[in-house]
């Protein structure tokens, strides 16, 4: 079993922040998060995130849409509970959370936090290139009861972010469609459209997050894997060297951040090449019919290090090599949900005899450092590995 350890400073910062800001919220929403039949949420940071976004949504819908006890045409007296239940079901299934860290916002303008420790001369211990100059930094050689001249300090950086462009959708079903589906199949067309709209918003959020880390990877470093076999290699043997290109990209991340990548996001053709490696292990729960609708597929892993996700949002022959650590502070990109899902009532329009409903999601995104990402490009027209 692999044991992943956070730095002491990071662990203390995360623990204190969650306890101070969300302890009461997590306790309040515990019955909801632990509801029978809902996806399990065991990670403490994810429980904090879900508790905050549930509280945001509850405050909005109760204050502006459906006061407690108010009867609505779609959910009866359970409007608030129904909308919160949809968020509770959808949020843990958002696959984009596998590639970015999440910090919830409690207002349309908020702060995203990330942590650095610095020596008192402003040098960063994460800059491993200067290790030779600093390996004796804390040496104390002046004798007892003399002043300590070297120190450490924390740099907790925050950036103010605004909630960006909202996601909004409108669905409409004709009265005839409602009647016919009910008569032939006992199906509710409005319920089906509601599920389709929620899926589309989740799929688009996944796409936005992929685009964010792709831009960061391209800005940081690119390794090119020429798919033509060089002299001395058979096509089969050379194809296995793709793993070398991935490790080179991972090494770039390590040199800059002192940590290793944890995931690969692949275009369709690149994923096929990875799945052909001896070190690839198919996800035992992989079910293409169930996961493709969410914009990313968790298809397996390469070795013991990299989770492999397949995405139709990437160029077919490209791979993002990236890191999402075990802490909200150990990531280069963030998704900051505010009101992740608002669902309106269904309204019957007598002029068109259609039933309408609208959906909305509001959130922000933020890239703190492209150093957590790199890119591998599979080039069918060249040979060798460069970069």
* Lowest mean pLDDT segment, chosen from 171-185, 199-213, 290-304: 290-304
| Domain region containing 79 | 8-113+157-386
Interval 54-63 mean pLDDT: 69
Q: How many domains does the chain have?
A: 1
pLDDT tens digit sequence for 316-357:
999 999 998 766 667 789 888 887 777 777 888 888 888 888
Position 210 in a domain? yes
Question: Which pLDDT belongs to residue 272?
Answer: 94
* Lowest mean pLDDT segment, chosen from 300-314, 320-334, 353-367: 320-334
Mean pLDDT of the chain: 79
Distance of CA 225 to the CA centre of its chain: 27
* Cα distance between residue 352 and residue 174, in whole Å: 8
Position 299 in a domain? yes
Check residues 145 and 93 and name the one with the higher pLDDT: 145
Position 131 in a domain? no
Position 226 in a domain? yes
pLDDT tens digit sequence for 83-131:
565 665 566 557 777 888 888 887 888 777 666 667 777 776 766 566 6
Question: Which pLDDT belongs to residue 15?
Answer: 65
Is 263:96 a contact under the CB 8 Å cutoff? no
Is 41:50 a contact under the CB 8 Å cutoff? yes
pLDDT tens digit sequence for 240-279:
999 999 999 999 999 888 889 999 999 999 999 999 999 9
CA Rg value for the chain: 25
Is 317:329 a contact under the CB 8 Å cutoff? no
Position 145 in a domain? no
What percentage of the chain has pLDDT greater than the value 90? 25
Position 133 in a domain? no
The pTM is what? 0.76
pLDDT tens digit sequence for 204-214:
888 889 999 99
Q: Provide the CATH number for the domain around residue 238.
A: 3.90.1690
Position 201 in a domain? yes
Interval 51-74 mean pLDDT: 59
Position 3 in a domain? no
Check residues 15 and 64 and name the one with the higher pLDDT: 15
Confidence of residue 283 (pLDDT cuts 50, 70, 90): confident
Closest CA to 157 of 121, 234, 103: 103
């Amino acid at each position: 079993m692999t044991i992943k350890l956070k730095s002491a400073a990071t662990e203390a910062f995360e623990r204190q922040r969650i306890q101070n800001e969300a302890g009461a919220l997590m306790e309040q929403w515990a019955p909801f998060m632990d509801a029978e039949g809902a996806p399990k949420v065991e990670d403490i940071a994810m429980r904090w995130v879900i508790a905050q976004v549930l509280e945001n949504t509850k405050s909005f819908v109760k204050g502006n849409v459906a006061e407690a006890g108010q009867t609505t045409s779609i959910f009866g007296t359970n409007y608030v509970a129904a909308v919160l239940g949809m968020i509770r079901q959808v949020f843990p299934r958002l696959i984009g959370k596998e590639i970015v860290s999440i910090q919830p916002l409690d207002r349309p303008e908020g702060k995203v936090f990330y942590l650095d420790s610095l020596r008192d001369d402003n040098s960063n211990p994460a800059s491993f290139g200067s290790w030779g100059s600093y390996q004796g930094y804390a040496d104390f050689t002046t004798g007892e009861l003399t002043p300590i001249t070297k120190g450490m300090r924390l740099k907790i950086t925050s950036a103010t972010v605004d909630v960006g462009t909202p996601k909004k959708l409108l669905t409409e079903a004709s009265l005839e469609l409602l009647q016919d589906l009910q008569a032939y199949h006992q199906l509710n067309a409005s319920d089906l459209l509601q599920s389709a709209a929620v899926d589309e918003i989740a799929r688009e959020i996944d796409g936005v997050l992929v685009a964010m880390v792709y831009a960061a990877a391209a800005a940081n470093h690119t390794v090119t894997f020429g798919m033509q076999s060089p002299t001395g290699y058979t096509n089969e043997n050379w194809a296995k060297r793709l793993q070398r290109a991935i490790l080179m990209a991972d090494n770039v991340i390590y040199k800059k951040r002192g940590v290793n990548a944890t995931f690969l996001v692949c275009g369709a053709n690149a994923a096929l090449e990875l799945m052909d490696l001896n070190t690839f292990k198919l996800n035992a729960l992989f079910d293409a019919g169930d996961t493709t609708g969410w914009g990313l597929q968790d298809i397996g892993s390469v070795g013991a290090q990299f989770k492999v996700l397949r995405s139709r949002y990437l160029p077919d022959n490209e791979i993002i090599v990236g890191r999402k650590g075990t802490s909200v502070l150990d990531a280069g990109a963030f998704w900051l949900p505010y009101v992740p899902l608002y669902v309106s009532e269904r309204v019957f329009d007598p002029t068109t005899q259609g039933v309408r409903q609208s959906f909305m999601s509001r959130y922000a995104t933020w890239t703190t450092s492209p150093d957590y990402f790199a890119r591998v490009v599979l080039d069918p027209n060249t040979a060798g590995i460069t970069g």
